[in-house]
């Protein structure tokens, strides 16, 4: 009886499906040839939008900010985006938040500043620049709360 049970168990085990093959690791998007130029493009767009906004051309600045959103999404989809990508995205979101505040859309502005706060709160390694950006986002977030 024991021999029968052992052979039955062995037969059942041998009929099990093969284990799934291990998937190869996905390539790091930050190492792809398109990533660095895309970061530069986003940073340039943020600088241009800032300049245009300060000159009073809010509609042009709004278009630049809106056109930058798909690029932000693509760059920040990387598991570990670069610091330059994070800073460029942060600059564009900060500008967008300030534009919304100027238009008295405090709830929407608050959302932009909250995104920046979350970005810099969890950024590793902490640097003086990341701490400065975190404080700025928190201050702007608090300003929105005061105006609501």
Q: What is the pLDDT of residue 58?
A: 93
Summarize the confidence of residues 126-134 as an average pLDDT: 95
| pLDDT value at 1 more than 90 | no
Confidence of residue 10 (pLDDT cuts 50, 70, 90): low
Q: What is the pLDDT of residue 8?
A: 65
Provide the 10 A C-beta neighbour count for residue 6.
10
| pLDDT value at 15 more than 70 | no
State the Cα torsion 56-57-62-67 to the nearest 10°: -130
Q: Determine contact, residues 100/112, Cβ cutoff 8 Å.
A: yes
Q: Nearest-CA neighbor of 132 among 100, 92, 87?
A: 87
Confidence of residue 2 (pLDDT cuts 50, 70, 90): confident
| pLDDT value at 80 more than 90 | yes
The CA distances from residue 41 to 22, 50, 71, 97, 116, in Å, are 36, 14, 9, 20, 20
Helical pair 83-102 and 128-147, crossing angle rounded to 10 deg: 20
pTM: 0.81
| pLDDT value at 63 more than 70 | yes
Share the mean pLDDT of the chain.
Answer: 91
Condensed to tens digits (0 to 9), the pLDDT of residues 131-141 reads 999 999 999 99
Reported as type and span, the H/E element at residue 135 is helix 128-147
């Amino acid at each position: 009886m024991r021999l029968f049970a052992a052979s039955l168990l062995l037969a059942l085990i041998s009929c099990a499906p093969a284990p799934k093959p291990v998937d190869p690791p996905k390539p790091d998007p930050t190492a792809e040839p398109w990533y660095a130029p895309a970061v530069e493009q986003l940073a340039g767009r943020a600088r241009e939008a800032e300049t245009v906004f300060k000159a009073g051309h809010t509609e042009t600045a709004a278009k630049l900010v809106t056109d930058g959103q798909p690029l932000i999404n693509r760059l920040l989809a990387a598991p570990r985006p670069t610091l330059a990508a994070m800073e460029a995205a942060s600059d564009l979101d900060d500008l967008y938040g300030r534009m919304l505040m100027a238009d008295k859309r405090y709830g929407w502005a608050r959302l932009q500043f909250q995104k920046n706060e979350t970005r810099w709160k969890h950024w590793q390694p902490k640097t003086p620049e990341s701490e400065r950006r975190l404080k700025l986002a928190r201050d702007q977030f608090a300003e929105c709360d005061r105006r609501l």
